[in-house]
Chains A and B, each alone.
Chain A
Amino acid sequence: QVQLQQWGAGLLKPSETLSLTCAVYGGSFSDDYWSWIRQPPGKGLEWIGDINQSGNTNYNPSLKSRVTISVDTSKNQFSLKLTSVTAADTAVYYCAREPTNWGQGTLVTVSS
C-alpha cells in the first residue's frame, strides 16, 4: 500500500517561496503521475500540477509562472516550489499519487 508523507514550512511572509516535499513509501514512481493539490480554508480543491518519474511536468495555467515541481527518484520524493506567495496562497497543500493516494496535507499560511 503506497503511503505519502509530506513536509515543509507552514508559515511564510508575502513574496517568499513556498517549498514542500513528499516522500513515497511502499511503492516506486513507476508509470504514475504525482500531483500537488491545494485547498484554501473552507473552500474546494485546486490542482496545482504533476510530474512523472522522467521529470515530465504539467502545471495549472493559473499558477504556471510561479510553480516548479521536481522529482528525486533516488529518494522516492517529489517537491513543490511556489514563488512570490501572497495571502491568496494560504491553503492546505496535498501531495498525491494520481488518482488514488493522498498525503496528510500541510497547512501553509502566508502572513506578514
Chain B
Amino acid sequence: DIVMTQTPLSLSVTPGQPVSISCKSSQSLLYSDGKTYLYWYLQRPGQSPRLLIYEVSNRFSGVPDRFSGSGSGTDFTLKISRVEAEDVGIYYCMQTIQYPLTFGGGTKVEIK
C-alpha cells in the first residue's frame, strides 16, 4: 500500500494568516499518462469530506482561490493564503494511482 504522511498533525492559526500542510507519499504518484493522482479534501466538523484540489494543483468547482496545491512525485503541499473561520476542519490528502486508495492521517486546522 502507498503510505500517505501528513504534517503537521494540527495547527492553530490567526484569521488572515497563511497555512501550509505537507503530504508525502511512499511512492511516486506520477502516472504514465503524465497526471499525478493526488487530491486534497477538507472535512468540516460534522460534515462529509469535500474535494478542494485535484491532481495536485487544480481547484475544484467553487473552491476559493485562497486554496492552492503544489508538488510533484512524492512531496505535496496545500496552502491557504489567508485563513478564514470557515476553513476550520481536518484536511486530508489522498492518492488514487494505486489500489487500495489511501489517505493521509489528516491535519486539524483550528482558528485562534
Do most interface residues of chain B lie in helix, strand or loop, or is the interface mixed? loop
- In the complex, what distance in Å separates the CA atom of A61 from the CA atom of B104? 18
B70 at the interface (CB under 8 A from A): no
Q: Is the CB of B48 within 8 A of A94?
A: yes
A83 at the interface (CB under 8 A from B): no
Q: Is the CB of B103 within 8 A of A47?
A: yes
| Closest A residue, CB atoms, query B103 | A45
Highest count of chain A CB atoms <10 Å: which of B39, B49, B92, B101:
B101
Contact-residue size bin, chain A (C-beta under 8 Å from the other chain): 20 to 34
* Chain B residues with a Cβ closer than 8 Å to the other chain, count: 18
| Closest A residue, CB atoms, query B39 | A99
Within 8 A of B (CB), among A58-112: 58-62, 94, 98-105
Q: Is the CB of A99 within 8 A of B54?
A: yes
Q: Which residues of B contact A46 (CB under 8 A)?
A: 103
Q: Which residues of B contact A105 (CB under 8 A)?
A: 48
B50 at the interface (CB under 8 A from A): yes
Q: Which residues of B contact A45 (CB under 8 A)?
A: 49, 92, 94, 103, 106
Q: Is the CB of A44 within 8 A of B51?
A: no
Q: Which residues of B contact A103 (CB under 8 A)?
A: 48
- In the complex, what distance in Å separates the CA atom of A101 from the CA atom of B50? 7
Q: Which residues of B contact A35 (CB under 8 A)?
A: 101
B94 to chain A minimum Cβ distance, whole angstroms, is 7
Q: Given contacts A44-B105, A45-B92, A100-B60, are A60 and B48 in contact (CB under 8 A)? A: no
B102 at the interface (CB under 8 A from A): yes
Per-residue interface assignment for chain A, residues 37 to 51, with 1 indicating a CB less than 8 Å from any chain B CB and 0 otherwise:
000000011110010
Interface residues of chain A, those whose CB is within 8 Å of chain B, are: 35, 44-47, 50, 58-62, 94, 98-105
Closest 7 A/B residue pairs (Cβ): A47-B101, A102-B48, A60-B100, A45-B103, A58-B99, A99-B39, A44-B106
A-B contact pairs, 11 of them (CB 8 A): A44-B92, A44-B105, A44-B106, A47-B101, A47-B102, A47-B103, A58-B100, A94-B49, A99-B54, A101-B51, A102-B50
